[in-house]
Amino acid sequence: MKGTPDELCRVMGHRFVSLIVPVIITIVSVVWSCTYLSPLYLDGSDSTIHLVFNESGSSSIVDKAGASILNALVIIGVIVLLTFIILALYKCNCGFVLYAWLMFSAASTFFLQAWLWVDLVFSLFQIPCDFVTMGIFILNFGVVGVLSLFYYSHPMLAQFYLIVVSVLIAWLLTAVPEWTTWCLLLGLAVYDIVAVLCPGGPLKMLIDSANARNEPIPGFVYDSANTVAVAVERPSRGAADGNGDASTSPLLRTLRNSTPFKLGLGDFIFYGLLVGRASFSGFVTWTFCLVAILSGMVGTLTILFLYKDSLRALPALPFSIFVGTGFFLLCLWGATVLESYVIKFTLVL
């Protein structure tokens, strides 16, 4: 019988899983890259990205914290500026410039960053490859990626390339110094709240403008529609005699007919960055951070579903970032306490 709690849980579970699974794939791929490729890429150094203020050169904790906060503010300022530029281009109907910008960003990721990642994988597994073969492979991979994102392709292929972009960018961002990374994540979580929920927030204005024009949001957005359609839609006997809609509860019917969940690519990237940075501290740390991020996602999606009439969009970063950072600090503190206890116990023996 339709409309039962089991049916409601099944449909709602499919909607959640359709977005949680790609996030898990992204995070695990970033962690694998940090574990096996970053030692080859960083070559023993803590960071290969030079920022405005040198965090590594600071001796005291206060100086290091100050440098990392200033670096994070500079990066967030650049992100805010780029967001307003995108908003201005969209409002001025400069779609050609906007999509050319996005296409250039995607192409640079597929051709340059993917080349670096594949080259390190071949070096890790000692797979011989010549320059011509690598060039042909990356050329085909990049062209298909750009066409799948900006022209036409099967939805699952577009989803695959969006995950690839997230993994590559998140992995490269793990080269940012540690303290700057955590300050950046916390600052972005606060900015996400302001940008999406405040009346004058750039992302809120962009979403409102796209809804007013009945157009998709300009940018890289992961749409779980294809996964939901395959998982939920199936024929039923009640539909044949016209009693299907009558036997379906209003909540279940609303859930089936509502818009599939969408998640910006920036959320994928910063989820991967958080867990990737945590992976440098050990298996337990990144595992707890992964659980924290998934818990935050489920909470955010639940709130978005319950208040879908009043909230068109909800920031996906804050809950997950705050909880994930808290779990990271808790794991570090627990590891320190456990280490001191083990040392004392060993000395006693």
pLDDT tens, position by position, 68-109: 999 999 999 999 999 999 999 988 888 788 889 999 999 999
Work out the average pLDDT over 257-274. Answer: 84
Work out the average pLDDT over 310-328. Answer: 88
Which of 156, 177, 211 lies closest to 25 in space, CA to CA? 156
Top-ranked range on mean pLDDT: pick from 135-139, 300-304, 330-334: 135-139
pLDDT tens, position by position, 17-40: 888 999 999 999 999 999 999 988
Q: What is the pTM of this model?
A: 0.85
Q: Which residues of 23-62 are buried (b: 16+ CB within 10 A; e: fewer)?
A: bebbbebbbebbeebbeebeeeeebeeebebebeebeeee
Let me know: does 38 contact 150? Beta carbons within 8 Å. Answer: no
The span from the first CA to the last CA of the chain, in angstroms, equals: 65
Q: What pLDDT is recorded for position 65?
A: 86
Query: Is 262's pLDDT higher than 60?
Result: yes
What's the Cα-to-Cα distance from 91 to each of 94, 98, 102, 160, rounded to whole Å? 8, 11, 16, 30
Output 3 or 167, whichever has higher pLDDT.
167
Top-ranked range on mean pLDDT: pick from 66-70, 164-168, 340-344: 164-168
Let me know: does 202 contact 84? Beta carbons within 8 Å. Answer: yes
Query: Is 254's pLDDT higher than 60?
Result: no
The amino acid occupying position 93 is N
Output 335 or 246, whichever has higher pLDDT.
335
Work out the average pLDDT over 129-149. Answer: 94
Residue ranges in 214-282 assigned as alpha helix (H): 225-232, 237-240, 250-257, 265-279
- As beta bridge partners, residue 221 has 264
Q: What pLDDT is recorded for position 227?
A: 43
Which of 53, 76, 45 lies closest to 266 in space, CA to CA? 76
Neighbour tally for 153: CB within 10 Å? 16
Query: Is 246's pLDDT higher than 50?
Result: no
Residue 284: which pLDDT band, with cuts at 50, 70 and 90?
confident
Active site residues: 192, 267
Residue 287: which pLDDT band, with cuts at 50, 70 and 90?
very high
Let me know: does 255 contact 12? Beta carbons within 8 Å. Answer: yes
Query: Is 62's pLDDT higher than 90?
Result: no
User: Who contacts 273 (Cβ-Cβ below 8 Å, separation ≥6)?
Assistant: 30, 170, 173, 174, 181, 185
DSSP structural state of residue 111: I
Tell me how far apart the alpha carbons of residues 288 and 276 are, in angstroms, rounded to a whole number.
12
User: Who contacts 223 (Cβ-Cβ below 8 Å, separation ≥6)?
Assistant: 155, 159, 260, 262
Work out the average pLDDT over 291-315. Answer: 83
The amino acid occupying position 284 is V
Parse the chain into domains and list their residue ranges: 5-348
Work out the average pLDDT over 309-334. Answer: 87
- As beta bridge partners, residue 222 has 263
CA angle 27, 29, 33 (to 5 degrees): 115
User: Who contacts 172 (Cβ-Cβ below 8 Å, separation ≥6)?
Assistant: 113
Query: Is 241's pLDDT higher than 60?
Result: no
